[in-house]
Amino acid sequence: MLTFSSFEFYRDVFNGKLSEDDYNGFVIDANAEIKSQINGRSVPAEMMDAVKLCECALVDLASRHKKSSEMLPDDISSVSNDDFKVTRGGSCSDLTKVRNGERRDVCVRFLQTPINLMYRGM
């Protein structure tokens, strides 16, 4: 599958900190998110850098989500140990909605200027 960005772009232009293996593990999902948000449209040349940056930002966001889930699994809302307590507000479906919103927010930041690739009208 072709992606918009490459690991070299992620590392050198975006200044990403993930390893190449980690980047490769997240980039396919990031690419699919962009294609979904732009409704499968082709990307004009003047928007290609923005799309690449968006893909890299989505890779980093996916990495943060994974780390968060490793610390407190998505199906657990609270953990307590002596006086230390960690609580996540809401349910799993709320967490999914939050994460979907975060991905959409990243896309909005990158994919709407100078051409609004997310526009779904005629």
> Is the residue at 24 inside a domain?
yes
> Is the residue at 119 inside a domain?
no
Structural domain boundaries enclosing 15: 7-111
> Is the residue at 121 inside a domain?
no
State the Cα–Cα distance between residues 69 and 52, nearest whole angstrom: 26
Output the tens digit of pLDDT for each of the chain's 122 residues: 699 999 999 999 999 999 999 999 999 999 999 999 999 899 999 999 999 999 999 999 999 988 877 665 555 556 566 667 656 555 556 778 888 999 999 999 999 999 999 998 76
> In total, how many domains does the chain have?
1
State the Cα–Cα distance between residues 17 and 79, nearest whole angstrom: 29
> Is the residue at 116 inside a domain?
no
Cβ neighbours around 87 below 10 Å, total: 9
What's the predicted TM-score (pTM) here?
A: 0.81
> Is the residue at 1 inside a domain?
no
**Are 31 and 3 within 8 A, CB to CB?**
yes
> Is the residue at 120 inside a domain?
no
